[in-house]
Amino acid sequence: MQNSGSNDCFGNVRALQRRDFYQRWARRAVAGVLLAALSFGGYRIYGVWRRHHLSQQAQEFFVHQDYQSAVLVARHLLQLDPKNVAACRIMAETAEIAGRREALSWREQVVALEPGNAADKIAFAAAALRFGQLDLARKTLDAVDVAGRANLKYHQLAGVLAISEKKPALAESEFEIALQLDPGDQQLALDLATVQLTSTNPPTREKARAELARLAEQSALRVEALRALTSDALANNSLVAAEKWATQLRSEKRATLSDLLLYVEAMQKTEGAQAALRDAESNAAKTPATAAALITWMNRHGMAEASLAWGRALPKEILNDQPVPLAVAEAYSFLQDWNGLHAWVDGKSWGEEEFLRLAVLSHALHHLTPNDRSSMESQTAWSGALKATKNRTDRLAAIAQLAEGWDYADDAADAWWLIANGNENAKEALTALQRLYKLKQNSHGLLRVAKRALELNPGDLVAANNCASLGLLLNGDSSARRLATRLHVENPANAAFSSTYAFALFTEGRTSEALRQMDTLKEAQLRHPAIAAYYFVILVENGKMERAHSYLSAANKAQLLPEEQQLLTAATRKLLQFDSQNAIKSVAAAESAMP
């Protein structure tokens, strides 16, 4: 019995020891978990605090105009948080101040992160306008909701954009709304009066001139008002008024070389013309920028020969500094002195602007080739120009624009594609390529643009529809049909997508199904020229000749690519043959009915 009791006792002791052991480790485990949780929570809190601190720091640097430090802090913040809106805004604003096009991509990122923020959309539209992306600016402004439009900045920007779009009536309306929001803003009054100078209503124009004359009495806006009045007088050939306002403008301390050139233009038909030009030449000869501006102005006002003589006589330190060499080259080009242009650029070195020299050399060699065709030498020089850009997008864009101006579409496309196939400013390059290919009616080029746009943004439905419609038009391949089908299924209410889907059925030989699909559209949609052209073709193919007649006029208004025009021409020919056969049958029937 004693042994038994002793064993029980030892067993209880061991049980107690095990329980104590587990409790100690349980407490340690709980403590460890709590410590880990506290550490993780502390780390997260520190991370939030750190990002907030960096955001404030970047904004303080920006406010104090220490832009380099602001960018450094913003970049560090973006490494910690790539979707930090404040950092993206700092990057956008500093890029805008520096005049760099990357501001567009930063503004776009800000809008993507906060799509409901109207102020960010307005800022994005302003950046797009600044860098000449009018379509992007319009698209972005149109995306601002009604509530977001009820502010001064929106209507002021909408007015400026409308001027760039050559829509003076819309600009006038926007500036009027903006002035109603802030009646005391004299800059808005100036903007409104300036755009009203182009009104088709004479009393409105006279009212605008009176308002500008009033604003010219205010020192803050005097130069801008005089500038508008001078330009208006010149545009309307009011020489007395032009001389009056230009004389006052020229005497202002804030007058620029452009204002002096307005004075030269106003004085051109007076005895003071030569004195005015000598005065402008004296002022322009001080810096390369102003000298180039005068040479360019003279080139474009029928004085290329005089501009060349004046430019070549400039001091060497001015003559050899850009942008003067390029302006002199333009003078040779205006005079069509291709030997002179070749001598001006051949064997020279333009330093950082060597890419421009090689582009101009290519232009000269092009015209020195028999029959004015591109030669091996010309193409070698152009290839050298592309290489000399070192793939910098601003340089590539510059020579692309030169090539477009010279009507070298292929060379321009080469430069634009180098940008489009990269990451920086690819969208802007695609916009330029689309404009270029539309002008040249290059369907294959447009398909290439659509495919690249879809690569950059798989959610771009317009690019997807262009890929489908152009793919069907050029190749009729199954992948284009699948894409057209998917777009229609996912967006059944979209008339353009429905039309593309109907064309996909048509190219597959399912003409009756194509017609049924087109008939689901509303009458107004079917009357749209681009859709009417396809509807007409499908109607004719289905033998619906009478109905086809009613859409031929709308179809003929469409701006069509060559391949589309071939479809329309073939369908029209088939309709005319049908009409001719019907007419012959009618005549025969009438003759047989005669006694």
In whole angstroms, give the CA distance from residue 109 to residue 78.
Answer: 12
pLDDT at residue 591, rounded to an integer: 65
Helix, strand, coil shares, percent, the chain, to 5: 80, 0, 20
What pLDDT is attached to residue 29? 58
Residue with tokens 């109607």, as numbered in its chain: 539
372: which DSSP letter? G
Question: Under a CB-based contact definition with an 8 Å cutoff, are residues 158 and 148 in contact?
Answer: no
Burial bucket for residue 379 (CB in 10 Å: 0-12, 13-18, 19+): middle
Domains of the chain: 481-589 (1.25.40)
Tokens of 116: 């409901």
Kindly state the greatest CA–CA separation across the chain: 148
Burial readout 342-376 (b: 16 or more C-beta within 10 A, e: otherwise): bebbeeeebeebbbbbbbbbbbbbbbeeeeeeeee
CA distance 554 to 568: 12
What pLDDT is recorded for position 163?
A: 93
Give me the pLDDT at residue 9, please.
45
> How far is the C-alpha of 279 from the C-alpha of 459, rounded, in Å?
57
Q: Which pLDDT tens digit goes with each residue over 298-324?
A: 999 999 999 999 999 999 999 999 999
Tokens of 183: 């009646």
pLDDT digits (tens, 9 = 90+) for 254-291: 999 999 999 999 998 899 999 999 999 999 999 999 99
pTM for this one? 0.74
Check: CB of residue 308 under 8 Å from CB of residue 328.
yes
First to last CA, the chain: 147
Residue ranges in the chain modelled with pLDDT below 70: 1-55, 58, 372-374, 587-588, 590-595
Q: Give the per-residue pLDDT at 14.
A: 56
DSSP letter at 149 equals G
- The C-alpha angle 420, 322, 433, rounded to 5 degrees, equals 20
Please tell me what DSSP assigns to residue 83. Answer: T
Q: Which of 403, 404, 433, 408 is nearest to 418 (CA)?
A: 433
Pair 102, 424: CB distance under 8 Å:
yes
Angle between helices 85-98 and 102-113 in degrees, nearest 10: 160
